[in-house]
Structure 1
Amino acid sequence: MNSRLEVLLFRLYYKIPFFSYQQKRRFILFIHHYFKFLTKYTISHRIYQMTAMQTENHYRGKNYFTNDYSKWIKKYDYLLPEEHQHLRKTSGNLSSKPLISIVMLVHDTEGHWLRIAIESILTQIYSDWELCLIEDTPIKSYLHGILNEYAGRESRIKLFFKNDNNSNSVAFNMALKTITGDFITFINPTDLFAPHALLWIALDIIDHPEGMFWYSDEDGIDENGERRNPCFKPDWNPDLFLSYPYHLASHLSVYRTSLVRQLNGFRQGYETAQEFDLALRTIEQIEPSQIRHIPRVLYHCREITNTISNSNSTETTAIPLQAALKVVNDHLNRKRVQARAVPSPDNLYIRVRYQLPEKLPLVTLIIPTRNGFKLLSRCIESILEKTSYLNYEIIVVNNNSDDSRTLKYLRDLSESPKIKVLDYPHPFNYSAINNMAVNHACGELIGFLNNDIEVINNDWLNEMTSHALRPEIGAVGARLWYKDDTLQHGGVILGIGGVANHAHKGIAKGDPGYFGRAVLVQNFSAVTGACLILRKDCFVAVGGFNEEKLAVTFNDVDLCLKLIKSGFRIIWTPYAELYHYESASRGYDNTLAKITRSEQEITYMRKHWGDWLMSDPAYNPNLTLETEDFTLAWPPRLERLPTSRM
């Protein structure tokens, strides 16, 4: 092992000037790829190989600096003639063929787009479908002619006429009475289905007969037919769904017809958010396990300016914010949740504010430290001065401090009725330190904080506590910033770098990230322990931090995965903001001993959690595991074609 090169490489990683975090990360990956004769005996190269092996060799070096979706489509999403034939054979061999009803409400649009939309259905590889065309009124005569033309030549197309006095919801509900399919989906008259869209839906329906609601990934398509802006979605993510309705329940969404009829279809007065409202009423009646995500681009949206979106969005009929707020608040009322949906600060998204109880529960904030007077005092003072939530106590754990200023400061802190100082006179073990401190905590809730944290907004603890008290939530993470106002923590994605890393790491303030995911409350598989709040009973129930195998790193990820395994959800909120002067106290893993220990902890995580690390439900197999910026995976981590069926 070349230990000197190992240390040099890591120091270079942290000290390259004038480049963003992601540029530096790509530079290191570039070195590992093109100069592996220098680095192949280092531990960092072995860590690199854990995720680089997921990438085709031809694309590794090139795509560290590019993210070309058109090339990705040609390589992984374009059907070759023999693949098309394989899919047709698969479709023909299905023992069960569910009938899928496709609903299109036709309003004034360009005639050639309407034809393209209908043709994308006629050319589906899977043929067991019916198309229900609902003609809006008034409508241009040439559109009426197009609809009659297709209805006349194709028996699977049904034409319905909307009465002048009826709303869209009434027209759909009338059509719902005659729909014969066991499943219903929707398409806009300007959009397209992918050729294999209905086949992938049908296959999943067959494989998962318990399913009630399906949704796929999607992308945009311009007037010239060029596809762009792929929206690769996570698996079912309930808090993200409430924050940004279009992100999940959009296209391609499929419902079991019996449930739609049970819900009486669309509700009048909700026409501008009718599909979102239907989706919310649907998920209220079913289990999360009955919501299926198909991580493939099955729908192409014609790109038009949006109302509730960001620069990456591609939807054609956006949901107006006020309509979305009304739908979410109706949902919260039906569920009897003490919360209120309000506009996000930028008026683009939704923020659900959960009500705190009248009697605030005690929160114990645990802060380990070794020396670091400046960091610790800044952390403590920012909590005392900026935290509007008043019912908390602080436990500072002194881990072998020998600096006179720090020791004096700790003695002064111990005189405060709000602060306890405990000693941990053993070698540094983050897990053991915090486990010990929890045993001395009086709070119903526990907050783990690094000593290099500084509070930004006054209601950070209100926000985190309001989520931690939700019975379904296991742990809550915060939005953490580097001192230069680039993002340090926006949730944790499993698999990146071999085990896990932070989503959107290094992006600038004001950047919404991938389809708003850097600014939206959402569920992740893990959040960082640098600022983490949870109920004490949850922490104890899963055995706390693993102090034997994970003394320094990944103990927070391990804790979160244990909570998920116990039936809880992990949530990240951008409305609790703090600075994190990362590893300013402990230092980086840039010595041989630290790198070796890090590799041992990586090995444990990969052995203990296995495939879970490579298939994060809060992420997408079409996105890379090499960097944290939601760029494309080369190749995707899923089979290109379905297995043959006899």
Structure 2
Amino acid sequence: MRNKNEVILGTIPNKKIEISKESPYKFKYVSSVYNIKSIYLYIGDEDIKSKISINIYKDNEKNLVSIGKSEDINNKWIEVRFPIVLGIYNEDLIFEISYDDGKCNIYSDKNDNICMKIEYEDMDKVAAKELDKHVKELRTIYNSSGWRFLVRLYNVRDKILNFFRGIKKFIKLIYVIIKNINIANIRRAKEFIKDEGFKAFLRKAYGKLRGERLDYTYWLSNHLPTNSELEYQRSYKFQYEPKISILIPTYKTPKHLLIETLDSVINQTYSNWELCIVDGNSETPHVNEILDEYSSKYEKIKVKYLDENKGIDGNTQEAYYIATGDYIGLFDHDDLLEPNALYEVVKAINEDNTIDFIYTDEDKINEKSDYRFDPHFKQDFAPDTFRSYNYICHFSVFRKDLMDKIGGFRYGFNGSQDYDIILRATENAQNIHHIPKILYSWRVHSGSTAGNPKNKMYCYDSAKKAIDEQLKRMGIKGKTVDGKYIGTYEVEYEIIGNPKVSILIPTKDHVEDLNRTITSIFNKTSYKNYEIIVIENNSELEETFEYYKEIEEKYSNIKVVTWEKGFNYSAINNFGAKFASGEHILLLNNDVEVINEEWLTKMVSLSQREDVGCVGAKLYYPDDTIQHGGVIVGLGGAAAHAHRGFDKNDYGFFLRLGITQNLSAVTGACLLIKKSVFDEVNGLDETFEVAYNDVDFCLRVLMTGRVNVWTPYAELYHYESKSRGLEDTEEKQKRFMGEFNRFRERYADFLEKGDPYYSCNLTLAKEDFSYRF
């Protein structure tokens, strides 16, 4: 026993008392201390494998004070710890002692006093007495019939309020649906149903209308700059005020849209800009009339008319030729800039003069300009996400010397000329900066790509060509194909050589789960150069060891190694890695099941790249909902899974559930990494025994300058319970909170800045990418 402040009840053990969950032992005790921290019970030589519980009641068993669970066995004594119990001095208490699994014995002395020691904390007696008084008063209130009635009343009130809130939201939803019924949308819906099916249409419609658009209207009202803020910006003088040349290629632009586009530039709060407009022989009189009017009225507007339409790429390049600014901004002929767009760009440049490429967040706006929706709150620069689709898009601003270096726009990429030039710019840019503010509105109308991706199918061929050319420039072997959704792409990286993968599977008993995992690997994996290292961790069932013998005899590429210490996920995997002979290590849980044959091929093709660290997979719960879509650092205070609970076929936030992308971390339930990188960061940190070890590992890999990647093309079921991870015992809570706090302390700076692959405009309270208000 430790030398603590103690009250001793029984003396020499004399009589055994059998206890179980069904037959607890109860006795009364008048407390002589102000608080209780732990209770020690004498158990003699009992071999206790489960928990002893002690419930403390005041006066009767309806008035629960606290619950304690056993912790350490020390010299025939077992410790039952409590959250500090207050408000019990000089109170009639009832102690109820039970054993969670089966039966065991405790002891009493010859006078029938339980052999028990109560450990308490020393407190200033005056302060303890006052605190004790207030705790008792609160307990009296909480157990009163009046308080219980009030709680029930509040519950009824909340249900009524939620009912009316639901009606209000439903009415708004109907309004949005009616507002969006038009010929163009009906045509798009018809085409989508034809291509994807009615169920997919319902999922998409639900995702669009379940509240995001309504929420976004409210979000905008709270985040757009006020008139007074805009006036302040107009009078503000920056230390460095570069000229920004905005390039607009026009071609048969509708009159009202062209006027709104031009006005959105004229109304900028930052004044040192020029507008470089090139018309591709529109042959529509109103275009020339409007451009002539604006150029004669505003000397900062330059207009050039071409004798032929050179396409978006050629027309934009012609606009670039007449630009004289320090920075170049790309602007479509029917879109809108927020009045503070250029101000925010110049503000960023003044804060860091090394920035040479900038992009912002954007949303969409309807043809009447009275409805904004679909805000794209983007990641910071993420090369794999960008190769999957052009998420950067609008509003993009380049330093002029960067644009000169890459030679401006190229012919042959019509429709994806911005994709091509951003790919080349990001290869050469030293400092890429993302402004996480909605500064650009992309116009949606019947003829636009934003309104219907099928309007310009040639864009996607140009995009694949642009990505393929980047791969060639960077010496990466691979080919770009269409992705899961229109407008997305998958790079099929060529695997160099035939690298071996060492699959580490820690396990303890649960043979059925382990067998399902191993069987699925052998039956459903097209990539054949792998070995499986089963890490045995204190199994107790004979059938487990019989199974080990069976699989080692059956498969030449399976070996079982034994970890003889207690459970520590990090230490177990580090131990298993010592036996790995592969060039890549795959951390894999023993409760997963492979779904698609190319899962390991896809992961290896990513992991082999020099710039890639950890590679994660798409994991589903058995009910076909998302268990893991990558990890967002900061969710829930530390880290949590992206899109958890979404339907298996959901698109996710801006198609994120269907594209290869960069994330700060992925789950260790299925994580592939080069063995050399694993060794470089010294494996998993063994101070994180159960929680956050995989996230910590990924962040340390991220700090080496590599990127971590999540792919939807590696799919597995994860039979982890959805409720798993809820720390339902004091022991687990204490361990979890220790690792939670250690993680937050280690990554305080990272958490303060925010996950670069997740927007500061999105919530940290839920995993559904809803807006942060």
Which bracket does the TM-score occupy, shorter chain normalised? 0.7 to 0.9
Structure-2 residue corresponding to 1:44: none
Is 2:330 aligned against 1:186?
Answer: yes
Tell me if 1:299 matches 2:299.
no
Name the aligned partner's letter for residue 257 of structure 1: K
Specify the alignment match of 1:389 in structure 2.
527
Encode CA deviations 1:197-243: one digit per residue, 9 max, x unaligned.
00000111222222221100000111332211100000001000000
Aligned residue number for residue 289 of structure 2 = 145
Matches within 5 A, 1:137-216: 137-164=281-308, 166-216=310-360
Query: Residues 304 and 316 of structure 1 are in contact (CA less than 8 Å); yes or no, is this contact kept in structure 2?
Result: no
For 1:5 and 1:293, the matched residues in 2 are separated by 50
Q: Does 1:256 align with 2:399?
A: yes
Out of 275, 288, 294, the residue aligned to residue 418 of structure 2 is 275
Amino acid at match of 1:391: N
Partner of 1:136: 280
Counterpart of 1:542? 681
Match of 2:482 among 315, 320, 343: 343
One-letter amino acid of the structure 1 residue matched with residue 421 of structure 2 = L
| Structure number with bigger Rg | 2
* Contact map agreement 1:365 1:393 (CA 8 A) in 2: yes
Cα shift at 1:66? 5.6
Match of residue 259, structure 2, among 106, 115, 121: 115
Say if 1:350 and 1:3 are closer, same or farther in 2 by CA, change over 3 A. farther
Counterpart secondary structure, 1:414: helix
SS of corresponding position for 2:277: strand
Give the CA deviation at 1:174.
3.5
Tell me, what secondary structure is at the counterpart of 1:284?
Answer: helix
Aligned to 2:367: 223
Task: Tell me the distance in 1 between the aligned counterparts of 2:267 and 2:385.
Answer: 34
Flag structure 2 segments of 5+ consecutive residues without an equivalent: 1-36, 38-64, 70-140, 143-164, 170-209
Change (3 A) 1:108 1:3: farther
- d(CA) in 1 for partners of 2:402, 2:685: 44
Correspondence for 1:443? 582
- Tell me: CA distance 1:118–1:194, structure 2 relative to 1, closer, same or farther (3 Å): same
- Cα deviation for residue 275 of structure 1 reads 1.1
8 A Cα contact 1:366 1:434, kept in partner: yes
Q: 1 CA distance for matches of 2:607 and 2:736?
A: 30
Q: 1:298 to 1:345 in 2, by over 3 A?
A: closer
TM-score of the superposition, structure 1-length normalised?
A: 0.84
**Deviation per CA, 1:541-570, whole angstroms, max 9, x where unpaired?**
11111112x100110000010011111110
Q: Taking structure 2 as the reference length, what is the TM-score of the superposition? A: 0.70
1:455 aligns with 2:586: no
Mapped contact 1:120–1:193 kept (Cα < 8 A):
yes
Distance 1:140 1:421 in 2: 76
Find the counterpart in structure 2 of residue 126 from structure 1: 270
Which residue of the other structure, out of 51, 70, 76, is the alignment partner of 2:217? 70
The residue type equivalent to 1:501 in the other structure is A
Q: What CA distance in whole angstroms lies between the structure 2 residues aligned with 1:445 and 1:425?
A: 25
Give the letter for the 2:325 counterpart: G
Structure 2 Cα separation of the partners of residues 555 and 342 of structure 1: 35
For 2:740, the equivalent position in structure 1 comes to 602
What SS does structure 1 have at the residue aligned with 2:246?
strand
Change over 3 Å in CA distance of 1:522–1:553 after alignment to 2: same
8 Å CA contact 2:249, 2:319 repeated in 1: no
Q: 224, 232, 246: which one pairs with 2:377? A: 232
Q: Distance in 1 between matches of 2:447 and 2:584?
A: 41
The answer as to whether partners of 1:265 and 1:278 remain within 8 angstroms in 2 is yes
| Residue of structure 1 equivalent to 2:625 | 486
In the TM superposition, residue 81 of structure 1 has moved relative to its aligned partner by: 2.8
Q: 3-state DSSP class of the match of 2:416? A: helix
Cα RMSD between the aligned structures? 2.6
Letter of the 1:557 counterpart? V
Report the equivalent of 1:88.
Answer: 234
Q: Which amino acid aligns with 2:445?
A: I
Distance change (3 Å), C-alpha of 1:369 and 1:278 = same
Amino acid corresponding to residue 378 of structure 1 in structure 2 = R
Instruction: Report the residue type matching 1:371 in the other structure.
Output: D
Q: CA deviation at 1:422?
A: 1.2
Asked if structure 1 preserves the Cα contact closer than 8 Å seen for 2:485 and 2:658, the reply is no
Q: 2: CA distance between counterparts of 1:126 and 1:346? A: 39
Call closer, same or farther: CA 1:585–1:252 in 2, change over 3 Å.
Answer: closer
Identity %: 39
CA-CA distance at 1:86 after TM superposition = 2.5
Q: CA distance change for structure 1 residues 633 and 155 in 2, over 3 Å: closer, same or farther?
A: same
1:272 Cα deviation (Å)? Answer: 1.6
Aligned partner of 1:512 among 631, 648, 651: 651
Question: What is the number of equivalent residue pairs in this alignment?
Answer: 570
Q: Cα distance, 1:320 vs. partner? A: 2.3
1:388 shift after superposition = 1.2
Contact 2:664/2:755 (CA < 8 Å) preserved in 1?
yes
Query: 1:407 Cα deviation (Å)?
Result: 2.2
Whether contact under 8 Å (1:211, 1:292) holds in the other structure is yes
For the 8 Å contact 1:105–1:189, the answer to whether it is kept is: yes
